[in-house]
Amino acid sequence: MKQQWIAFKTLVHKELVRILRIWTQTLLPPLVTQTLYFIIFGKFVGSQVGPINGVSYMSFIVPGLVMMAVINSAYGNVVSSFFGAKFQRSIEEMLVSPMQEWVIVAGYVCAGVIRGVVVGILVFLVSCFFTHPTVYQIGIVIVFMVLTAVVFSLVALINGIFAKNFDEVAIFQNFILVPLIYLGGVFYSILRLPVFWQNVSKLNPLLYMVDGFRYGFFGFSDVSVAFSAILLIILTLMLWQANIWLLKKGVGIKN
């Protein structure tokens, strides 16, 4: 067990070195993008939109934009690193070692979460230049941020496992993840939508992550926070098992 722990720490260390080595690709871009969102949506568009549940539009979008950065960073880190290792065949360094599958999954997820959370905190700090964000329950904020980063790190790992080329990495991100993020209540409350679209929105798992996270800031939510938390935990457990199973079977990494 001690050796597996050392292997886990080694993988996390290797990933963190990678994140810092290419910080202009891993840490900087989300700050620039989210700053633009604050300026365009928060300042320009937001000035035309009234408060939501007594919260200014600029403040309302802060949790959504932080969560968007967390999701993109956690996801992007794991999928690019894992697929990169497959592409360069350096993944064989792990496969020939006695590392168990759960160590590989845990290592990548841990690195994805660290990058996601760090970027999320940086985006939150940027938001302080535009508004005075309040935090209603820090525990809820942390739980939703970390669990969401875990879920999307696990999804990214599955994407990396199945991907055979860079196109297949980009397809999920561009055609599934991005629409889900934008339609997940980052910029609006679904209660302002017609009932039909409210119900459609509830099929989007990202809604529950963004909404629960926002509850931690303001103390109000569009859907049940407890339900959102349970959904996140169930997703985490299912995706964790799926990753372990795929790696044990050698899908996408062994012949």
Give 84 or 205: the residue with its C-beta nearer to another protein: 84
Amino acid at 42: G
Query: Which of 93, 132, 234, 237 is close enough to bind another protein by CB under 8 A?
Result: 93
Query: Which of 28, 39, 47, 89 is close enough to bind another protein by CB under 8 A?
Result: 89
- Within positions 98 to 127, which residues make up the interface with another protein, using CB under 8 A? 98-100
Residues 133 and 217: beta-carbon distance below 8 Å: yes
- Within positions 10 to 39, which residues make up the interface with another protein, using CB under 8 A? 10-11, 13-14, 17, 21
Whose structure tokens read 């065949």? 89
Residues 155 and 33: beta-carbon distance below 8 Å: no
Query: Which of 4, 56, 173, 236 is close enough to bind another protein by CB under 8 A?
Result: 4
Q: Is 3 in the site for another protein (CB under 8 A)?
A: yes
Query: What span, in angstroms and rounded, lies between the C-alpha atoms of 176 and 179?
Result: 6
Whose structure tokens read 């985490």? 236
Q: Closest distance between another protein and the C-beta of residue 255, in Å?
A: 5
Give 48 or 88: the residue with its C-beta nearer to another protein: 88
**For residue 105, which of 255, 250, 241 has the smallest C-alpha distance?**
241
**For residue 83, which of 148, 17, 170 has the smallest C-alpha distance?**
170
Query: Which of 71, 85, 105, 207 is close enough to bind another protein by CB under 8 A?
Result: 85
Query: Which of 29, 84, 133, 205 is close enough to bind another protein by CB under 8 A?
Result: 84
Q: Closest distance between another protein and the C-beta of residue 22, in Å?
A: 8
How many Cα atoms are found within 13 Å in the side-chain-facing hemisphere of 99?
Answer: 24
Give 179 or 250: the residue with its C-beta nearer to another protein: 250
Alpha-carbon torsion, ordered 126, 129, 131, 135, to 10 deg: 50
Whose structure tokens read 């899908």? 251
Give 4 or 56: the residue with its C-beta nearer to another protein: 4
Query: What span, in angstroms and rounded, lies between the C-alpha atoms of 126 and 234?
Result: 32
Q: Is 7 in the site for another protein (CB under 8 A)?
A: yes
| Angle ∠(154,203,236) on CA atoms, nearest 5 | 25
Q: Which two tokens stand for residue 131?
A: 């508004």
Sketch the per residue contact string, 191 through 230, with another protein: x for CB under 8 A, - otherwise. ----------------------------------------
Give 104 or 209: the residue with its C-beta nearer to another protein: 104
Q: Is 9 in the site for another protein (CB under 8 A)?
A: yes
**For residue 72, which of 141, 140, 172 has the smallest C-alpha distance?**
172
Residues of the shown chain interacting with another protein in the complex, contacts defined by CB under 8 A = 2-4, 6-7, 9-11, 13-14, 17, 21, 84-85, 88-90, 92-100, 250, 254-255
